[in-house]
Amino acid sequence: MGLRRGIMAAMVITLMLQVAMCKSEISRADFPNGFTFGTASSAFQYEGAVKEDGRGPSVWDTFSHTFGKILDFSNADVAVDQYHRYEEDIQLMKDMGMDAYRFSISWTRIFPNGTGEINQAGVDYYNKLIDALLAKGIEPYVTIYHWDLPQALEDKYNGWLSADIINDFANYAEICFQKFGDRVKHWITFNEPHTFATQGYDVGLQAPGRCSIVLHLFCRAGNSATEPYIVAHNVLRSHALVADIYRKKYKAAQGGSLGIAFDVIWYEPATNTKEDIEAAQRAQDFQLGWFLDPLMFGDYPASMRSRVGNRLPKFTPSEAALVKGSLDFVGINHYTTFYARDNKTNLIGVLLHDTVADSGAVTLPFNGTKAIGKRANSIWLYIVPQSMRTLMNYIRQKYGNPTVYITENGMDDGNSPFTSIKDALKDEKRIGYHSGYLSNLQAAIKDGCNVKGYFVWSLLDNWEWAAGYSSRFGLYFVDYKNNLKRYPKQSVQWFKDFLKPS
C-alpha cells in the first residue's frame, strides 16, 4: 500500500505541475500593450510573376537561373504566387490574429531598369496590397530593399560596388514614400546588409556571386578582401541619404519611422579565456557592429579599423554626421547562436583573406563535438532560445536602449519527398522554438529592453534563396505539387491561441 500511495502521490504532483505549466504558457497578455506581432516575407521569395506587369529582371533572377547556384536547381519564377494570392494570404494572417505584415517592394516592379520611368502597374500592385492589409486591420511594415537589385544597375556600374547607386537608390526610395507613405508608417531601408555584403561579395554564395576565394568553383570575378567593405559603405551612405530625405520632406506629414533589419547571430565564447571572449566580441563587431556602430556612433568599430586598415573605407565628416543617428528603430533578424574561438593559427587568413579572416574569430555551432543546441533543418540553424534575451540586453547596454523590432525569427524543417503532408503539419519543434524565443524576449522586456514587435519568418513555406525549396520555414505548409495549396501547421493553432485577446 505504501508503494502504491507513493506512486499515486507522484502522479498527483506530476499532474499539478503539468497544469501549472499550462497556465504559465506564454501569451500576448505577457507583452506590453501595443506590442506588435506579425509575419515577414520578401518580394522575391513570395511574389513570383517575375515577367508580369512590366517587372524587370533582378540579380537574383539571373543568379537563380545560373547552373549550380541553387541547391535544388529551382528558381523563384512562381515562388508561392503571392502576387496573385495576396488576398487569400492576408486572410490567413487575419485568422491567426496577426497585427502586421512585413513585406518588401521589388525595385524592378517600380523601376524595371532601376531608374527612369515609373512602372505604374507595379505601383498599382503595392497600392492594392497595402489597402487590402489595412482593410483587414493589418499594419504594413515595408522593406524597401530585400536583395533584389535591378540587373540593369549591376550591368551598368556593378551595382553596390559603385557610389552611383546611392542616388539611384534614394530616388527609388523617395518614390516609395510618395506613392505609399500616406499609409505605410514603418519603413525598413535594407534587409540584412551584412548578409548580402558577405554572401554576395565575399564568399560568392548569393547574388551577384562575386568572390576571390582560392579553389572557389563558381566565382569568376570579385575581391573578397575589399568588395564587402565597399558594398557595406555604399549601403550605409544610401540609407543615410534616404533617412535625411524622409525626415526633411515626408516625416512630418506622414508620421512614419525608418530603420534597417540586421542579421544577428549571437556569439558565445568557446571558453572563458580572455582570447575567446575577445574573439566573440570581434565576431559581433564584424557582424552587427559593422553597421550599427556607424549609425549610432558615426564610425566603424575600432577592431575593424585596426584589423582591416586601409581596405575599410572612411566616412567624410559630413557623411559621418549624416549616418550617425539616421535610425528611428533597429530591426533584428535573430535565429541562432554560435561559439566563437580566437583564430590562433591564421589558417583561415591564408586560405580566405576576407572578412572572416579579418575578424580573427572562428565561429561554429560546435565546441569540439558538442553542438550548441538542437538543430533545425538548415546546417546553420541551432536552437538556443536564451540568446534572444542575452542579445537584447547587449543592444540595450551597448547602444543606449534603442527601439527594437524583432523583424525575423523562426526555424525550418526539411522538404522531404518521403514526408506526408499530414506528418509535415506536425511541427512541435517549431512551436517549442517560438515559445522559447518569445519567453526570452518577454524576459528581456522585463529587464528593460525597449522591444516593440516580433515578426515570424515566415507565414508560408517559400523559396529560400540558395536553398531553393529544400527548406520549409512556414507556419503554413505550401504544397508545391498541388497548385501551391496552403495548409495550416500545428504552429498556426498555437499562434491563434497565443494571440487571443485576454
CA pair distance 204, 252, nearest whole angstrom? 41
Residue pair 63/206 in contact (Cβ under 8 Å)? The answer is yes
Residue 245 grid cell: 530625405
Q: What residues form DSSP beta bridges with 174?
A: none
Three-state secondary structure string covering 298-315 = CCCCHHHHHHHHHHCCCC
Q: Distances from the Cα of 479 to the Cαs of 67, 78, 252, 487, in angstroms? A: 25, 13, 45, 8
264-298 burial code (b ≥16 CB/10 A, e <16): bbbbbbbeeeebbbbbbbbbbbbbbbbbbbbbbbb
What is the pairing mode between strands 485-488 and 476-479? Answer: antiparallel
Query: Which of 166, 160, 194, 158 shows the shortest CA–CA distance to 359?
Result: 194
* In 325-450, beta strands by DSSP E: 329-333, 337-342, 361-364, 366-367, 370-371, 374-375, 382-383, 404-409, 413-414
Give SS3 for 400.
coil
Place of cell 544597375: 153
Query: Which of 307, 171, 162 shows the shortest CA–CA distance to 235?
Result: 162
Residue pair 148/108 in contact (Cβ under 8 Å)? The answer is yes
Other CB atoms within 10 Å distance of the CB of residue 327: 23
CA pair distance 429, 459, nearest whole angstrom? 16
CA pair distance 84, 200, nearest whole angstrom? 30
Residue 357 grid cell: 579572416
Residue 429 grid cell: 519543434
120 Cβ contact list (under 8 Å, min separation 6): none
Q: Give the residue numbers annotated as catalytic, written as ranges.
A: 192, 408
CA atoms within 13 A on the CB side of 361: 29
What is the pairing mode between strands 374-375 and 329-333? Answer: unpaired
CA pair distance 373, 457, nearest whole angstrom? 20
Rg (CA), the chain: 23
395 Cβ contact list (under 8 Å, min separation 6): 330, 332, 401, 402, 404, 449
